Amino acid sequence: MRQVTRWGHCPVLIASVFGASFGLLGFAVAVVAETDIPPGRLSPFDRRLRPFLVIGFVLFSILSIQGVLLGFVLQDRLGLSAEATAHRSGVAFLASGLVSLAAQVFLVRRLAWSPAWLLRCGLPLSLAGFVVLVFAGNFLVIVLAAALVGLGYAFAIPGCSAGPTLLMKDHEQGSVAGLTSAFNGVAAIVGPTAATALYEVSAPVPYAVGAVLLAAALVVAWGKRMAT
C-alpha cells in the first residue's frame, strides 16, 4: 500500500520543472550558437559524436531516475517508516556504489575494452536491473537490482565518456567536452522531472520507461555508426 500521497512528490516535481526549464533554455542557446561552427568546434549532429551523445543522455537521465525514486520505491512497496526508508535506501545505494567502484577498479581497467564494447556490456546489465525493479517487491531483490544497475554503469559511463575523446582530433577536444557536459547536465535535470511525473501515474512506470530507453541505447551501441 502506498504511503506517499498524490501530492507528496510535488516539491521535487516543482523544483525539477524549474531546473529543467533553465537547463533546456541553456541547451537551446548552446545549440543555436553551434549553427555557425568555426574550425575546431563540433555540431551535436556530428556523426562521430551523435551516438555517444544519445547514449550519454539516456544514461544520465536513468541515473537521476534511480537517485530520485529508489527511496520512494522502498517505502511504498515495503510499507516502511521514514526512518526505515532512510536506512534501507542507504544500504541499496551503498551496494550499488560499491559494486560499481569494484567493477571499475578490478574489471574495467584490466579488461581495457574499447568504448563501444564497454557500452555493449554495461547497457544490458543496467537494463536487466531496471527490468527487475519494475516488479521487485522484496528488499533483497531491490538491493540486488540496484547493484546490477551500478555494475552496468561501471562499464557504460567510462565507455560513453572515453568514446568521443578517442574519435576526435586534438583541436576538437574542447568542443567535445562542452557538448557532452551540456547533454549530460540537461539529462540530469530532465530525468528527475520525468521520473516524478511518471511515478504519479504508476510506481513501476518510470522503471519500465527507463528499461525501454536503455534498450534503445543498446540498439544505438550496436549500430553501424558506433566506432569499435
Banded model confidence at residue 6, pLDDT cuts 50, 70, 90 = very low
Tell which wins on pLDDT, 1 or 106: 106
User: In this predicted structure, what is the pLDDT of residue 2?
Assistant: 45
Residue 59, domain member (yes or no): yes
Q: Answer whether residue 23 shows pLDDT above 80.
A: no
- In-domain check, residue 82: yes
Residue (of 128, 150, 142, 126) closest to 73 by Cα position? 142
Look up the domain containing 148 and give its range: 10-221
Average pLDDT, the chain: 80
In a domain, 4, yes or no: no
pTM: 0.77
Under the banding of pLDDT at 50, 70 and 90, the label for residue 225 is: low
Inform me whether the pLDDT recorded for 3 exceeds 50: no
CB burial readout 164-180, b (16+ within 10 A) else e = beebbeeebeebbeebb
pLDDT over threshold 80, residue 47: no
Q: Is residue 1 part of a domain?
A: no
Amino acid identity, residue 167?
A: L
Count: domains in the chain? 1
**Is 47 among the domain residues?**
yes
Q: What is the pLDDT of residues 73-131, one digit of tens each?
A: 999 999 989 899 999 999 999 999 999 999 999 999 888 899 999 999 999 999 999 99
Share of the chain above pLDDT 90, in %: 40
Is 5 a member of any domain? no
**Domain annotation covers residue 146:** yes
- At 125 the pLDDT is 96
List the CATH number of the domain containing 16: 1.20.1250.20
Report the SS3 class of residue 178: helix
